[in-house]
Chain A
Amino acid sequence: MRRSMLFIPGNTPNLLINGAYLGADALIFDLEDAVSPDEKDSARNLVRNTMKYMDLRRCEVIVRINSIDTDYWKKDLDAIMPQKPALIMLPKSGCAQDILTADAYMTEVEERLGWEKNTVRLMPLIETALGVENAFAIASASSRVAAIFLGAEDLTADLRCKRTKGGNEIAYARSRMVVAARAANVDVYDTPFTDVNDDEGIRVDAEYAKSLGFTGKASISPRHVGVINEVFSPSQKDIDYAYEVMEAIRLAHEQGRGAIALHGKMIDAPIVARAQQTIAMAEEMGVGKVVDHE
C-alpha cells in the first residue's frame, strides 16, 4: 500500500532520522533537487547510512537519484542499491531509452550483488513535455518499472506556463499519465501540492487526483500526509461493499450460479477486481474483517 510518499531532503539528518514517524506510507530520500552539487557526496553517504542503520519502521524507501545526464547517477546507484530500496526514482525521464539506460546499470549492480534482476524497481519521474508525450513508452519500457510519477513544477516550467492551485495547466498531463500507467499496468502517482499552509487546498487537490485514477500522491510537507492517506484510503462503506461482493461471489459459486447480482446490480469482473483491491488495502490498514464461512 502506497497512498502517500513524503519527500525528505537527503542531506538533512533531522528529517531523515524522523521521517519514519511522520505517517507516510513511503519516504522519498532525495539526492537530486534538494541537494546542492557540492554536497552530493555527503547526502549519498548520509542516506546510505540512514538506510543501513536506522529502523525505518514500516515505511517503504524510495530514493530519488540524480538524472542520467549528470555525473552523479551511477555513484548514487552504487551507494544506494546495496541497501535495497524498494524503488529508485529516476528524474527527468523523457523517453524509453532513458529507462533502458538506467535499467541496464541497475541490472549490472544487481549482478554484482548476486541479486535477481528487478530486485529494486524503478519509478520514472515524468516532468517534461517530452516525458508526458512518451508516458506509455516510459511506463512499458522495462519490467523494472513499477510506477510512474508526475512532477508538475518542472513540467510547467517546460510548458512555459504558471503553476496554479487549480491545476488547469496540468490537467492534460495528469490524465495522460493515468491512462499511460493503467495501459502499462503500473501504478501512478500525482505531483505534490506545494502550498504547505493550505489545508483545504491539499484535500481538494488529492480528491481530484484520486477521481482521475491516481494510485496516490507525493508530498513535500508532513502536514499533507494525513489528508493524502485519508483521501486515498477506501471508506468504510467501500470496505463493507467489497466484502459483500466477495460473499455474493462465494455464495453464487456454492450454488452453481453463473450470473450474480448484488442490490440489483450485476457483479462482473471489474467490480470483483476492485473489491479485491479494496479488501487488500483494508487488511493492510488493519481494518479488514475476519470472514467466517462456517
Chain B
Amino acid sequence: MDIIKKASAGTLESSDVYVEIEPGQGIQLELESVVEQQFGDSIRALVQEVLAEYGVENARLHIADRGALDCVIRARVETAVARGKGE
C-alpha cells in the first residue's frame, strides 16, 4: 500500500530528524542536514532502505536532519510512512 496522505514525524530538535512524506511518483527525496557533506549519502541510503522494507515505491519526502543517529532516522521514517499510509 502506498502513501495516501501527507504526514510527518519527528522534530527539529538536536539529535532528531523531521520527516515529511506525501504521495508522489517514484521516490523523490529532498534532504537538508547539518552533516550533509559527511553523511548525506548514507542518510539517503538508509531512508531508501526503510521505504523498501515497508513497500513504499511512490512518495515525495522532505527530511530535515539535526544530527540524528541511524536508529532515530529509521524510527522517524517508519512513523511517517505508517501515518502516510493511514495506519
Residues of A within 8 A of B (CB): 12-14, 16-17, 41-42, 45-46, 48-50, 52-54
Given contacts A46-B71, A46-B79, A50-B75, 5 further A-B contacts (CB under 8 A): A13-B69, A17-B15, A45-B76, A45-B82, A49-B72
Contacts A41-B83, A42-B75, A42-B79 given; does A14 touch B70 at CB 8 Å:
no
Bound together, the chains give a CA A108 to CA B15 distance in angstroms of 36
Q: How far is the CB of A133 from chain B (nearest CB, A)?
A: 40
B68 partner residues in chain A, CB cutoff 8 A? 13
B15 partner residues in chain A, CB cutoff 8 A? 13-14, 17
| Other-chain contact of A53, B71, B76, B78 (Cβ < 8 Å) | B71
A41 partner residues in chain B, CB cutoff 8 A? 79, 82-83
Interface string of B13-33 (1 = CB under 8 A from A): 111100000000000000000
B6 partner residues in chain A, CB cutoff 8 A? none
A45 and B69 contact, CB distance less than 8 A: no
A13 and B82 contact, CB distance less than 8 A: no
Q: List 25 A-B contacts (CB under 8 A).
A: A13-B15, A13-B16, A13-B68, A13-B69, A13-B72, A14-B15, A14-B16, A17-B15, A17-B71, A41-B79, A41-B82, A41-B83, A42-B76, A42-B79, A45-B76, A45-B82, A48-B75, A49-B71, A49-B72, A50-B71, A50-B75, A53-B69, A53-B70, A53-B71, A54-B71
Q: How far is the CB of A79 from chain B (nearest CB, A)?
A: 10
Residue in chain A with minimal CB distance to B10: A42
Bound together, the chains give a CA A255 to CA B61 distance in angstroms of 78
Contacts A13-B68, A41-B82, A41-B83 given; does A46 touch B14 at CB 8 Å:
no
Bound together, the chains give a CA A169 to CA B76 distance in angstroms of 42
Q: How far is the CB of B2 from chain A (nearest CB, A)?
A: 19
Bound together, the chains give a CA A49 to CA B16 distance in angstroms of 13
Count residues of B near A (Cβ-Cβ below 8 Å). Answer: 18
Bound together, the chains give a CA A271 to CA B53 distance in angstroms of 57
Residue in chain A with minimal CB distance to B81: A45
Q: How far is the CB of A16 from chain B (nearest CB, A)?
A: 8
B69 and A17 contact, CB distance less than 8 A: yes
Q: How far is the CB of B76 from chain A (nearest CB, A)?
A: 7
Interface string of B36-69 (1 = CB under 8 A from A): 0000000000000000000000000000000011
| Other-chain contact of A42, B9, B13, B14, B69 (Cβ < 8 Å) | B9
Bound together, the chains give a CA A54 to CA B71 distance in angstroms of 7
A48 partner residues in chain B, CB cutoff 8 A? 75
A42 partner residues in chain B, CB cutoff 8 A? 9-10, 75-76, 79
A14 partner residues in chain B, CB cutoff 8 A? 13-16
Contacts A42-B9, A42-B10 given; does A17 touch B72 at CB 8 Å:
yes
Contacts A14-B13, A17-B15 given; does A45 touch B75 at CB 8 Å:
yes
A49 and B74 contact, CB distance less than 8 A: yes
A45 and B79 contact, CB distance less than 8 A: yes
A52 partner residues in chain B, CB cutoff 8 A? 71
Residue in chain B with minimal CB distance to A46: B75
B79 partner residues in chain A, CB cutoff 8 A? 41-42, 45-46
Interface centre among A45, A48, A52 (most CB of B within 10 A): A45
Contacts A14-B15, A17-B15 given; does A46 touch B72 at CB 8 Å:
yes
Residue in chain B with minimal CB distance to A41: B79
